[in-house]
Amino acid sequence: MDEFAAMRNFIARFISFSDDEWRLLQSITSRRSLKKGEFVLKAGEVCNHVTFINKGFVRIYNLVNDDGLTVNFAFEGNFITDFASFITRKPTADNIIAMEDLEILQINHANLQAAYSQSPTWERFGRLMAEYILLFVVSRNKSLLFDTPEERYQKLMRERPKVMAKVPLKYIASYLGITPQALSRIRKRLAEG
């Protein structure tokens, strides 16, 4: 299978592009493999890439009082980046770690900016991705502020079944903003209910 097929399919959900525009994007995209436990990005670095996951999944977390606070998970068929660091060129607080062996495609900052200058299509895609990320962050923040832990857990089960199937419970608890013990109680209540 074409190693760019999944990325092309993802992008085609948002925009239409010509074969020439696609070749431009392919020409600035590099391939990389990482082993489980290796970092795509470490806290303190400037995020220099937008990364598409072809195979595997990652956990995105911050260290808070020596504990890893899970921010998100990303699976094959999706883009990841620390958008704030990527745009501002300031160091990130995020760690993005491979939870399985990864096959990824990456576009570095300078090349993406050049593609934006050369192609209104890619600049439009960048804007649509920024909007997509913003909507996710707003929804997540509202959920953390207004939903109970049980509501957050049920929403996660409904909306992100891959997380439930592949991610260890301690990281799910961290993502939900609760302890593993609280998650166990929620799971028990739901199983009994």
Q: How crowded is residue 19: how many other Cβ atoms within 10 Å of its Cβ? A: 7
Q: What is the pLDDT along the chain (193 residues), one digit of tens a residue?
A: 589 999 999 999 999 999 999 999 999 999 999 999 999 999 999 999 999 999 999 999 999 877 889 999 999 999 999 999 999 999 999 999 999 999 999 999 999 999 999 999 999 999 999 999 999 999 999 999 999 999 999 999 999 999 999 999 999 999 999 999 999 999 999 888 7
- Bridge partner list, 32: 104
Are 86 and 67 contacting, i.e. CB atoms less than 8 angstroms apart?
A: no
| SS3 state at 59 | strand
Are 53 and 104 contacting, i.e. CB atoms less than 8 angstroms apart?
A: yes
| SS3 state at 41 | strand
Tell me, which fold does domain 5-134 have in CATH? Answer: Jelly Rolls (2.60.120)
Chain length of the chain: 193
Question: pLDDT at position 1, please?
Answer: 55
Question: pLDDT at position 64, please?
Answer: 85
Question: pLDDT at position 65, please?
Answer: 79
